[in-house]
Amino acid sequence: MGEGMTIDKEKILIHADEILPSVGSRAEREEHVARFRRFLKVETERLKIRHRFGLDGREVARGRSYVIDLIVRRACQWALTQCASRREIEDRYAVIALGGYGRQEMAPYSDVDVLFLHAGRRAHQVSAFLELVLHLLWDIGLTVGHSFRSIAECIAMAKKDLHSRNALAEARLITGNAHLFRRLTRRLDEAVLRNGRAVDAFIEAMCAERELRYARFGRTVCVQEPNVKESAGGLRDVHTVLWIGRALFGCRTLEDLRAEALISGAEYAAIDRAYNFVARVRNEAHFCTGRRTDLLTLDLQPTLAAHLGYESKRGLLASERFMREYYERAHD
């Protein structure tokens, strides 16, 4: 039913221009917050409707990411107007999406993970700007995971912390100084992501991390209450392949791995189909609970099955048919 459907970014942008406060608007802060909240609520509902009509799981995630991009950019624009040292701040920061947000794979109620990168000099001025942005985003109702670092601090953190390394590997500029962002990505490649000795240690760490994850969330696909992100066959398994593929071969996507003949056409099709299915299940879990939900509990499974269009048939409950397909896809 949703085949061929895509997110209309132009329509979302027009809506943002109509409802979000323009730069220099004299409206009170409370009105700014109300407008941002209204924009987020309407776009979330529109995305939910498209999802329920069968929109591709990845396309929904890209749509959500685009909506959050617009909000973060407009929030930064507003915050700059509140800063007395605006001109001194503008060229000294970059706001960067990390992790799933960086990949543009945000589920509807995922945390917004951002890095506020500063140039090192006069960081206190950028810090004041950061506080204004964060308080606005929090008041809008977003859950924001944030860090405030220089390039040197990012490199140091990526070298010692696996989670930070992988989050930075997905870095994407939202707004701010593009040159500062390029300096970060270049240093990351040289010192961490494509460094021979660092890569060997990274592969070993990823294997250890996978074993710990499987021990916690299940190392077989057919667990009774799977975590769509962390369990075996979940989204994190594909992320792991991509992180290792980038470290070893410079491939950032499944398409890159296929182009380099590192996976076959049949393998690519199976992984892509399975990933999209699991992403769509995750989106539904978020939509129907109204919060970040990655665990498919026994209580939640019947609701998910109903919303995803499954019906009881041939002696099987709708929830049983849904979970059977989930296990089949996750096994791929």
197-331 shares the fold of 9-193:
no
Neighbours of 208 (CB within 10 A): 11
Band (pLDDT 50/70/90 cuts) for residue 153 is: very high
User: Could you give the angle at which helices 162-169 and 151-160 cross, rounded to 10 degrees?
Assistant: 120
Residue 58 has a pLDDT of 94
Count the alpha carbons within 13 Å of 211 in the hemisphere toward its beta carbon: 5
Domain ranges of the chain: 9-193, 197-331
Q: Give CATH for domain 9-193.
A: 3.30.460.10
pLDDT value of residue 23: 60
pLDDT-derived band at 25, boundaries 50, 70, 90:
low
Q: pTM, whole model, 2 decimals?
A: 0.94
Q: Which CATH architecture has domain 197-331?
A: Up-down Bundle (1.20)
Using CA atoms, how far residue 87 sits from 124, 150, 173, 303, in Å, is 14, 19, 20, 52
pLDDT tens readout for residues 230-273 = 999 999 999 999 999 999 999 999 999 999 999 999 999 999 99
For residue 186, give every residue at least 6 positions away whose Cβ sits within 8 Å of its Cβ, in sequence order, or none. none
Where does the pLDDT of residue 29 fall: very low under 50, low under 70, confident under 90, or very high at 90 and above? confident
Q: Is 180's pLDDT higher than 80?
A: yes
DSSP letter assigned to residue 262: S
**Between helices 265-289 and 318-331, what is the axis angle to 10°?**
140
In the beta sheet, which residues pair with residue 172? 97
C-alpha distances in angstroms, 125 versus 57, 94, 118, 119, 244?
40, 13, 10, 11, 38
